[in-house]
């Protein structure tokens, strides 16, 4: 780049392509089966501005952006998506932006199948918008809700971004969570909370431009445990229709009493 139109990024260096669902000639991942999939991508820039967006079919799911006037910077995003067989997922470079990469491979795209079709538990919350489908019709049912929050700022004690964005574990098991926060010309800081315990935090400072930060972890949850993202006091986040600030998670496997994993 920069290119004057949205351009699909083609990642020609393939580390693993089990099942050949990713096409290194087009940069497009095609879902071989119906199920829950996890995707993440990272973009880098030196001395300029970068922005990119993850696309499912024709829908822009979320975006990242980073500005660095003289130095190196990077940004990342990730989410769990429910895909039908034949759905396509890919990354597009935003119009009039550029990316940086070299033999160290700073700019990457990856994804994997979490679970096929039944007993899928996945959740994708966005501070700007979250569109959740009904994924499980037999034992587990997750309903999507839509929430709109713009340029949140809290001048008092830490508060949850929104109560309805709390994830409640339906079963005992191992879960993976990650969140991404954007800022524009200000400090941003947020923390992942399990019940009342702060698990980890993310922080970013940009005096005049756009920046972002992220965190993720795998947690053992009991049925009824809650997980959510809390904005730190005296901080604010930035978001718009491109969904820079997001929260996502999924069940990895259920666990019986005695810490025995169950994949069924």
Say whether both 253 and 165 belong to one domain: yes
- The rounded mean pLDDT for the chain is 76
Last residue of a domain, one of 117, 138, 153: 117
Weakest-pLDDT range from 67-71, 116-120, 135-139, 220-224: 135-139
Asked whether residue 125 falls in the same domain as residue 212, the answer is yes
What confidence tier does 101 reach under pLDDT thresholds 50, 70, 90? confident
The residue from 66, 83, 117 where one domain ends is 117
Q: Mean pLDDT throughout 27-52?
A: 89
pTM value is 0.61
> 190 lies in which domain range?
118-264
User: How many folded domains does the chain comprise?
Assistant: 2
- 76-98 pLDDT per residue, tens: 888 889 999 999 999 999 888 88
Residues in the chain: 264
- The answer to whether the beta carbons of residues 239 and 245 sit under 8 Å apart is yes
Same-domain check for residues 205 and 260 = yes
Q: Do 123 and 38 lie in a common domain?
A: no
Q: Are residues 170 and 263 in the same domain?
A: yes
Q: Band of the pLDDT at 258, cuts 50, 70, 90?
A: low
Q: What is the pLDDT of residues 242-255, one digit of tens each?
A: 777 888 888 887 87
Q: How confident is the model at residue 148 (pLDDT cuts 50, 70, 90)?
A: very low
pLDDT score, position 32: 94
Q: Answer yes or no: do 183 and 208 share one domain.
A: yes
Cβ distance 194 to 177 under 8 Å?
no
* Integer Cα distance of 205 and 188 in angstroms: 6
pLDDT in tens, 156-177: 333 333 345 789 999 988 888 8
Answer yes or no: do 132 and 230 share one domain: yes
Contact in structure between 122 and 250 (CB atoms under 8 Å): yes
The CA-atom distances, in angstroms, between 263 and each of 114, 173, 180, 224 are: 11, 10, 29, 20
Residue 6 near residue 92, CB atoms below 8 Å: yes
Of 65, 76, 86, 93, the closest CA to residue 8 belongs to 93
Instruction: Count Cβ atoms below 10 Å from residue 71 Cβ, excluding itself.
Output: 8
Average pLDDT of 98-124? 74
Looking at residue 9, its pLDDT comes to 93
Task: Among 67, 90, 117, give the residue marking a domain's end.
Answer: 117
Looking at the structure, tell me whether residues 146 and 165 fall in a common domain.
Answer: yes
């Amino acid at each position: 780049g920069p290119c004057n139109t949205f351009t699909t990024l083609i990642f020609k260096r393939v580390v693993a392509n089990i099942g050949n669902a990713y096409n290194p000639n087009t940069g497009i991942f095609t879902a071989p089966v119906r199920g829950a999939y996890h995707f993440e991508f990272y973009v880098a820039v030196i001395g300029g501005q970068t922005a990119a967006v993850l696309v499912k079919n024709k829908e822009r799911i979320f975006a990242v952006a980073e500005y660095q006037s003289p130095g190196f910077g990077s940004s990342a995003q990730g989410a769990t998506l429910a895909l039908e067989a034949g759905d396509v997922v890919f990354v597009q470079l935003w119009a009039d932006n550029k990316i940086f990469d070299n033999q160290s491979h700073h700019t990457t795209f990856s994804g994997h199948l979490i679970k096929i079709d039944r007993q899928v538990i996945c959740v994708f919350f966005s501070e700007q918008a979250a569109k959740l489908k009904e994924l499980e019709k037999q034992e587990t049912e997750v309903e999507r809700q839509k929430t709109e929050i713009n340029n949140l700022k809290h001048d008092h004690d830490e508060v949850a971004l929104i109560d309805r964005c709390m994830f409640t574990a339906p079963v005992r098991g191992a879960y993976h969570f990650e969140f991404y926060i954007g800022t524009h010309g200000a400090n941003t800081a947020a923390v992942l909370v399990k019940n009342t315990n702060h698990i980890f935090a993310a922080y970013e400072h940009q005096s005049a431009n756009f920046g972002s930060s992220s965190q993720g972890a795998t947690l053992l949850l009991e049925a009824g445990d809650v997980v959510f993202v809390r904005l730190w006091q005296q901080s604010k986040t930035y978001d718009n229709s491109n969904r820079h600030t997001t929260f996502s998670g999924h069940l990895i496997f259920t666990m019986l009493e005695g810490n025995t994993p169950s994949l069924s």
